[in-house]
Amino acid sequence: MRNLSPASGPVDLVAAYAYPRTGPWLRANMVASLDGAAQRDERSAGLGGAADRSLFLLLRGLADAVVVGAGTVRAEGYGPVRPQDTWRDVREGRPPVPPLAVVSRSLDLDFDAPIFTEAAVPTIVLATASAAPDRLRAAREHADVVIAGEDALDWAAAVRALRERGFQRLLCEGGPAVLAQVVAAGLLDELCLTLSPLLLAGHPARILNGPPIPIPPHLRLGHVLEEDDFLFLRYTR
């Protein structure tokens, strides 16, 4: 064992979280309490802090597109990604924001909400062929719809479709049901995990919520950062 602390000075976060220079990459960003809870009062906001919030925004700024489950969109009341002043350099030569790509089977989404009507870059819906025709029609009126899979999303096909649209650097913001499937499909390249200094108990989901993964990926530690008792861990495949 070796001691990683005390840490030295401040960190260049843009450099620390830079995507690989070439090729596609899928990064997930999640927050958990010390006892592994990915939710507090049915949301994740109560787990994070100021530093987690600014890292959340930076990771969006670095990404070409943000994949998120409809459960998280509904629970957190997601709006569209808004441009940030701090992104001027990181988004040079790219659209002002990464679009959201919302995963949904039911298409039980409010297509008149700002997430669709006020998005600077059209929101994408990752849908399945078995979706109700009227919901699909509503989705197509307000979003860029990708059909991948019959009854359940074909994750590899969905990610391929995003890459064909030019979105190489993907960020997955969960939630736990989505992340479990991304990992099970062997698509996760990197996990950014914020460890929040809280102990919650109860029965919240962990950051992955799904059946056991037959061959669990063994991730390599990239870095550990700290602010206000929060740890910011970066693991890669």
Question: Is 177 a binder of ligand NAP (CB under 6 A)?
Answer: yes
Q: Is 170 exposed, middle or buried (0-12, 13-18, 19+ CB in 10 A)?
A: buried
Cα 134 to chain centroid distance, Å, stands at 28
Question: Is 104 a binder of ligand NAP (CB under 6 A)?
Answer: yes
Residues with Cβ within 8 Å of residue 174, at least 6 apart in sequence = 28, 30, 38, 44, 68, 69, 72, 207
H or E stretch at 55: helix 50-62
| Residue recorded with tokens 């109560």 | 46
Question: Is 123 a binder of ligand NAP (CB under 6 A)?
Answer: no
Determine which residue in the list 82, 105, 165, 223 makes contact with ligand NAP, applying CB under 6 A.
105
Closer CB to ligand NAP, residue 106 or residue 117? 106
Site string for ligand NAP, 28-67 (x = CB under 6 A): --xxx-----xx--xxx--x--------------------
Distance from C-alpha of 204 to C-alpha of 33, rounded to nearest angstrom = 10
Determine which residue in the list 58, 66, 67, 70 makes contact with ligand NAP, applying CB under 6 A.
70
- Residue 166, token pair as written in the block: 């030019």
The stretch near ligand NAP (CB under 6 A) out of 86-94, 111-119, 175-183, 216-224 is: 175-183
Smallest separation (angstroms) from ligand NAP to the CB of 52: 9
- Residue 22, token pair as written in the block: 């070439």
Distance from C-alpha of 134 to C-alpha of 7, rounded to nearest angstrom = 55
The stretch near ligand NAP (CB under 6 A) out of 2-10, 56-64, 72-80, 160-168 is: 72-80
Site string for ligand NAP, 129-158 (x = CB under 6 A): -----------------------xx-----
Closer CB to ligand NAP, residue 88 or residue 229? 229
- Residue 35, token pair as written in the block: 């006892």
Distance from C-alpha of 165 to C-alpha of 133, rounded to nearest angstrom = 24
Q: Are 98 and 29 in contact (CB under 8 A)?
A: no
Q: Are 157 and 146 in contact (CB under 8 A)?
A: no
Count the site residues for ligand NAP by CB under 6 A. Answer: 33
Q: Are 75 and 177 in contact (CB under 8 A)?
A: no
Question: Is 196 a binder of ligand NAP (CB under 6 A)?
Answer: no
Smallest separation (angstroms) from ligand NAP to the CB of 132: 11
Smallest separation (angstroms) from ligand NAP to the CB of 93: 29
Distance from C-alpha of 171 to C-alpha of 27, rounded to nearest angstrom = 5
Name the site residues for ligand NAP (rule: CB under 6 A): 30-32, 38-39, 42-44, 47, 69-72, 75-76, 103-106, 108, 128, 152-153, 173-178, 181, 205, 207, 209
